[in-house]
Amino acid sequence: MIVEEFITAVRQSFGGSVAVYTMGNCYQFYEILKVVFPYAEAYYDGNHVWTKIGDDYYDIRGKANLPKDRILKLVEGDMIKSLSGNKWDDVRREKEKEEFIR
């Protein structure tokens, strides 16, 4: 249960955590979990990075109940470069802000 407690603490640490870590920075959330849980592995389903710790998968929302047919690929090599950049940059932040205000 310690994994879920840690994720809850991160999620509750700031109001935008779910948006940030599910809209382009899911790999960065894996990197946070990897510091605390060194045996964590990153898996990518083509849209989102999931962190595998033990036999379970997690993201900022907690333990995931992924469908059995979900295809997950271990993140390694060149794939890391494409997933590790901060996608929640100032341009995207301003665009989101403009759309929210409309």
Tell me the percentage of the chain whose pLDDT exceeds 90.
58
For 39-59, what is the mean pLDDT? Answer: 94
Alpha-carbon gap, residue 13 to 89, rounded angstroms = 20
- pLDDT tens digits, residue range 50-99? 999 999 999 999 999 998 888 899 998 777 767 766 555 555 556 655 65
Could you tell me the two tokens for 61? 């929302």
pTM above 0.85, yes or no: no
Q: Which three-class secondary structure state does DSSP give residue 12?
A: helix
Amino acid of residue 48? H
What per-residue confidence (pLDDT) applies to 69?
86
User: Nearest 5°: phi and psi at 49?
Assistant: -95, 130
